[in-house]
């Protein structure tokens, strides 16, 4: 199976936003317009993350997902503020294909198994926000990179997959929005620990970065900043991936 190219859209309220290391957020526009454009340009999947949902205890993504699903026909993964089977059901009915869960899974790991058992492992994406603590060691953060969990990233990835997660989305907080390249050591560590696909997010900056992420063991790469600002086209990204 060839590597997947995913457009990541971080959402705050009704707006597509972009930050650096999950701070300093800038409003980019209507997420639907960007999703439609990426779909028409041939993206493999879309990843919607409501970046403030876990802080406020609610997700505003249902309407965004429903609107997108009317015109966009590639798989959609949705994350942010998902706490229950009811939340998952609502998003899947709106048109999502998969859910990405971070904060609520850390708080109650059984949620991973519940989602996988009810909807299938392919629907349950374990979302991990990773911050490096020392060489070769990363801690899981929750609440969009704001809160320590005390969990080791690699051990948590292994546990999440054992509970039923069918994919692992790993976002490097250190690299997110910096354009300095993916954290390949982090990708290697997770890919070696689990038998499910790994999605790398955070850090794309230049040609060669995608191939490096795939070479480190990622099965898919999520790009946000470079696409939103028009620094690179999806065609160009696709060609870069073929160099992997």
Catalytic-role residue among 10, 167, 219, 225: 10
Q: How many domains does the chain have?
A: 1
pLDDT one digit per residue (tens) for the chain, 244 residues? 589 999 999 998 888 887 665 556 788 889 999 999 999 999 999 999 998 765 555 556 898 999 999 999 999 999 998 999 999 999 999 999 999 999 999 999 999 999 999 999 999 999 999 999 999 999 999 887 678 899 999 999 999 999 999 999 999 999 988 889 999 999 999 999 999 999 999 999 998 999 999 999 999 999 998 998 899 999 999 998 886 5
- Say whether pTM exceeds 0.85: yes
Give the helix ranges, DSSP H, for 41-168: 53-56, 61-71, 85-94, 103-107, 110-119, 153-163
**Residue 129 falls in the annotated catalytic set:** yes
Full domain range(s) for residue 201: 4-241
Catalytic-role residue among 50, 87, 97, 129: 129
Find the CATH number of the domain harbouring 85: 3.20.20.70
Q: Which of 174, 232, 212, 227 is nearest to 45 (CA)?
A: 227
**Residue 10 falls in the annotated catalytic set:** yes
């Amino acid at each position: 199976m060839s590597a997947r190219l995913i457009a990541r859209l971080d959402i705050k309220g009704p707006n597509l936003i972009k930050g650096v290391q999950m701070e300093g957020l800038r409003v980019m526009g209507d997420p639907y317009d960007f999703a439609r454009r990426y779909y028409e340009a041939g993206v493999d999947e879309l990843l919607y993350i409501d970046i403030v949902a876990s802080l406020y205890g609610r997700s505003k993504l249902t309407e965004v997902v429903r609107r997108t699903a009317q015109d966009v026909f590639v798989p959609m993964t949705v994350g942010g503020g998902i706490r229950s089977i009811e939340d998952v059901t609502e998003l899947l009915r709106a048109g999502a294909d998969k859910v990405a869960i971070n904060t609520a899974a850390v708080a109650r790991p059984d949620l991973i198994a519940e989602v996988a058992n009810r909807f299938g492992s392919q629907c349950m994406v374990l979302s991990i926000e990773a911050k490096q603590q020392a060489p070769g060691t990363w801690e899981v953060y929750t609440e969009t990179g704001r809160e320590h969990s005390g969990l080791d990233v690699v051990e948590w990835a292994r546990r999440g997959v054992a509970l039923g997660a069918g994919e692992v989305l790993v976002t490097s907080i250190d690299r997110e929005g910096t354009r300095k390249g993916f954290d390949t050591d982090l990708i290697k560590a997770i890919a070696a620990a689990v038998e499910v696909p790994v999605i790398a997010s955070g850090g794309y900056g230049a040609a060669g970065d995608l191939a490096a992420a795939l070479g480190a063991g990622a099965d898919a790469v999520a790009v946000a900043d470079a696409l939103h600002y028009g620094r690179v086209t999806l065609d160009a990204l696709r060609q870069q991936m073929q160099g992997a």
